[in-house]
Amino acid sequence: MRKGFQLALLAMLGLAVTLGPAAAQTPGVTATEVKIGNTNPYSGPASAYGTIGKTLGAYFKKVNDEGGVNGRKINYITYDDSYSPPKAVEMVRKLVEQDEVAALFQTLGTPTNTAIHKYVNQQKVPHLFVATGATKWNDPKNFPWTMGWQPNYQTEGKIYAAYILKNFPDAKIGILYQNDDYGKDYRKGLHDGLGEAAKKMIVLEQTYEVTDPTIDSQIVNLKNSGANVFFNVTIPKFAVQAIKKSHDIGWKPAHFLNNVSSSLATVLKPAGLDASKGLITALYMKEITDPQWKNDKGFLDWVAFMKKYYPDGALDDQGNAFGYTVAQAMTQVLKQCGNDLSRENILKQAENLKNVEFPLLLPGIKVNTSPTDHAPIEQEQLAKFDGERWVLFGELLEAAKK
């Protein structure tokens, strides 16, 4: 028994030694570096998005190679959360409590960010430019430390609604949407944007589950409903099917395709460029697979960056352009912070982006934030596919201005 007691004492001693050091004055910041934390799904069902997290790391490496920000290197720490909410909680707690990062940046996924939303705001850690299109991230009153990035889905739905009201006064609208938050956000945006007219105009709404094998029957139903406007809220796999099927059965509505599936390489080409002719979408970034940008300086710089810092990354994956751009935004925030990298100041500077432009956003799109506006990108422009490229038309639309 005595031996056992000694053992227990030893074990406790060992644990006491592992006690962490006391928290620094400004967490995550030393004279030579600033720690930025991130979680991404490098494994699991959403692992295709993991490339964004890798691009972020590659971009910060480039920044560090060029001397860092105000003399400090960016120490980017990223963990795999497998797109699982409990894992995200664990990893984010590790980032905040153990690694003591100065800020969280681009944590990816709606369910995963929902799981950490309350926690990071209680801990008062900047939770910047989250990688999800849900609307709730722009809520500075209740969640002052969280900030979105891309135009949210409801905003985009409203943009289509405004265009439909103006150009198709006698529209009969058929909607196909994914049965989850993402699909419902788009649907709500369209409904809200149409207002009173929604009841009269929308003739049929169809849903699908992300696990469904096909959506052929939904397309047939929509055609039979007599709809002449098709609002297509689908992820790439189903967008391909929807475009193909409606073409095959000779249904030719005005076809609005959500931004989520606007890639030439992953959607329009597989669906058939001919069948894709006439599609309308709303864009805020340059589609990197669109030939019209092939001599654009921003695009060429990005290609050079990819070749040097992320040679394994695909040049036709929009995620890599997305990561590149949002990493530029984070770098901008850190630059604005000057020598004060306290969490308060990082948030303050993130709320103080004024008319910033980024090379891979559409020309004219400006990023603006304020203490009451946590939605950095709020402009989009409509584009029509002419069989070869997205042709932008009309002016930049800002749906936030209701």
Partner 1 sequence: MPPRSWTFTVAGLGLIVALALPFTLSNFRLFQFSQVYIYAMALLGLNILTGYNGQISLGHGAFYAVGAYTTAVMIDQWNVPYGWTIPTAGLVCLVVGFLFGIPALRLEGLYLALATFALALAVPQILKYFEHWTGGSQGIVLSKPKAPWGLKLNPDQWLYFLCLGLLVLSFILASNLLRGRTGRAIVAIRDNPIAAQSMGVNTALYKSLTFGVSAAYTGVAGALSAVTVAYVAPDSFDVFRSITFLVGIVIGGLASVSGAIFGALFIQFVPNWALDISKAAPWAIYGVFLIGFMYAMPRGIAGTIRLAAVRWLRRRAEPRGSSGGSPR
Contact footprint for partner 1 (CB under 8 A): 1, 4, 7-8, 11-12, 15-16, 18-20, 42-45, 78-80, 82-86, 89-90, 93-94, 96-98, 110-112, 114-115, 117-119, 179-181, 209, 211
CB of 85 to partner 1, least distance (A): 5
Q: How far does Cα 256 stand from its chain's mean position?
A: 20
Beta carbon of residue 317, minimum distance to partner 1 (angstroms, whole number)? 17
Q: Which is nearer to partner 1, 298 or 313 (CB)?
A: 313
Query: Residue 315 contacts by C-beta under 8 Å, 6 or more apart in sequence?
Result: 288, 303, 306
- Nearest distance in Å: CB 392, partner 1: 33
- Nearer to partner 1 by C-beta: 113 or 336? 113
Radius of gyration of the chain (CA): 23
Closest CB to partner 1 among 51 and 349?
51
Q: Which amino acid is at 133?
A: G
Question: What is the 8-class DSSP label of residue 169?
Answer: T
Minimum CB–partner distance for residue 121 and partner 1 (Å): 12
Cα separations (Å) of 20 from 24, 63, 98, 235?
A: 11, 30, 8, 45
Least distance to partner 1, CB of residue 308, Å: 19
Nearest distance from residue 13's CB to partner 1, in Å? 10
What minimum distance in Å lies between the beta carbon of 331 and partner 1? 22
- Angle (nearest 5°) at CA 359 between 356 and 362: 85
**Among the listed residues 112, 281, 103, the one whose alpha carbon sits nearest the alpha carbon of residue 186:** 281
Cα–Cα dist 37/80, whole Å = 12
Output 179 or 370, the one with its CB closest to partner 1.
179
Q: Which is nearer to partner 1, 42 or 284 (CB)?
A: 42
CA 65 to CA 139: how far, in whole Å? 36
Minimum gap (Å) between residue 156 Cβ and partner 1: 19
Of 212 and 296, which has the nearer Cβ to partner 1?
Answer: 212
Collapsing DSSP to helix, strand or coil, 215 comes out as: coil
Helix ranges restricted to H, 20-141: 50-65, 85-93, 110-123
Pairwise CA distance, residues 57 & 74, whole Å: 9
> Measured from the CB atom, is 289 or 320 closer to partner 1?
320
Nearer to partner 1, 212 or 216 (CB): 212
Q: Which is nearer to partner 1, 46 or 283 (CB)?
A: 46
Coil, helix or strand for 203? strand
Neighbouring CB atoms inside 10 A of 81's CB total 29
Residue (82 or 336) nearer to partner 1, CB: 82
Nearest approach, Cβ of residue 209 and partner 1 (Å): 7
Reference 181, options 147, 140, 135, 124; nearest CA is: 135
Paired tokens of 132: 């999800």
User: Cβ distance 197 to 253 under 8 Å?
Assistant: no
Helix (H/G/I), strand (E/B), else coil: 188: helix
In this structure, what DSSP letter does residue 47 have? Answer: G
Query: In the bound complex, what is the minimum distance in angstroms from residue 354's beta carbon to partner 1?
Result: 33
Cβ closest to partner 1, residue 15 vs residue 31? 15
CA–CA separation, 137 vs 144, rounded Å?
Answer: 10
Pairing between β-strand 229-233 and β-strand 173-178 as defined by DSSP bridges: parallel
* CA pseudo-torsion sign 55, 293, 246, 381: positive
Least gap, CB of 315 to partner 1 (angstroms): 20
> How far apart, in whole angstroms, are the C-alpha atoms of residue 110 and residue 118?
14
